Amino acid sequence: MTTPAPAPLRLGTRGSALATTQSGLVARRLEVLLDRPVELVRIKTEGDVKTGSLASLGGTGVFVTALRDALAGDRCDVAVHSLKDLPTTPAPGLTYVTPEREDPRDALCARDGRTLDTLPRNGRVGTGSPRRAAQLQAARPDLEIVDIRGNVETRLARALGPDPDLDAVVLALAGLARLHRTEVVSEVLDPLVVAPAPGQGALAVEARSTDLVPDGGTTGGPGLGAVLAEAFAELDHRPTRLAVTAERAVLARLEAGCAAPIGAYARLEDGVLVLSAVVASLDGTEQLKHTARVEIAPTATLTAADGAAYALGVRVAERLLADGAARLAPLSPAEPAPPEPTLATTGTDDPEGA
């Protein structure tokens, strides 16, 4: 008797070219790990439907809530998010993992191969991110920063198209790499000049928590829970997980939303997790920076390593607060929460898959 082919795993994604490309990468990996087909389910989010600045949309969760509702409503089995889009508060009943991330730095895409230093005086640079805008103004106070929205190609056309109205745009290098469009990059911006958004370049692959225990869920029938849990364990990349846990702990401690110009960049180097963070005023005239590190033993348990990374982020955030961060940026700092085994983040920085 022939065993029927398993039903496809339904993977929820936003519908933009960047989102479906990112989700397609995850889908192909899951097909190998699960030995079953994976189909993309396109979900429209609030941020896809509405126009205007991110702050006017409320920022937090506008590109995430519909996907999470689809998971909760059993319209998809797994969802893929850009990690920097996830709100700080963990979603009850959901668990995510972080595959290895792309280069988290920002990229300048300028006409004639110009760099940040060689852009024309009073040049016009487009970005939808207050973080990028503030740090660009700090580096080049003469620049006119233009608020823009839209997908990657729409943004690129503003500077590199046949009828440009901008001298350059700034995009996440990770998105350009995933779309095979790095040829448009005129300069990869040094994180010391423009620190990336916490979690930039990383993805979150999310599922119902009950589907990640043996026979605990309903997705695909009995026994899939153990297989899906193993697949999620394979997807989770320890150096990425520790880096983004530290970066996002900065946001969690500062209670910073999408309107706050905050950058953070962590990397695991020879067993030492190094975290640098910056808080800037909205106009870029003032910046506070701090760097700290913690040793992560190779034998540390997942819980211990996560806790150390989270504590590092809190420590850096508290140093920034002590130096006056709340005076510079729109923050609502609260008492630090205890570390979560799986951290979420605050709001979106500037999703280029919009």
Q: Which of 85, 167, 306, 349 is labelled catalytic?
A: 85
Three-class SS of the chain? CCCCCCCCEEEEECCCHHHHHHHHHHHHHHHHHHCCCEEEEECCCHHHHCCCCHHHHCCCCCCCHHHHHHHHCCCCCEEEEEHHHCCCCCCCCEEEECCCCCCCCEEEEEHHHCCCCCCCCCCEEEECCHHHHHHHHHHCCCCEEEECCCCHHHHHHHHHCCCCCCCEEEEEHHHHHHCCCHHHCCEECCCCCCCCCCCCCCEEEEEEHHHHCCCCCCCCCCCHHHHHHHHHHHHCCHHHHHHHHHHHHHHHHHCECCCCCEEEEEEEECCEEEEEEEEECCCCCCEEEEEEEEECCCCCCHHHHHHHHHHHHHHHHHHHHHCCHHHHCCECCCCCCCCCCCCCCCCCCCCCCC
* d(C-alpha 29, C-alpha 31), whole Å: 5
Please list, residue by residue across 192-231, b when 16 or more beta carbons sit within 10 angstroms of its beta carbon and e when fewer do.
Answer: ebbbbbbbbbbbbbbbbbebbeeebbebbeeebbeebbeb
Positive or negative: CA dihedral 171, 59, 281, 275: negative
* d(C-alpha 225, C-alpha 231), whole Å: 10
Identity at 167, one-letter amino acid code: D
Q: Is 77 a catalytic residue?
A: no
Active-site residue numbers?
85
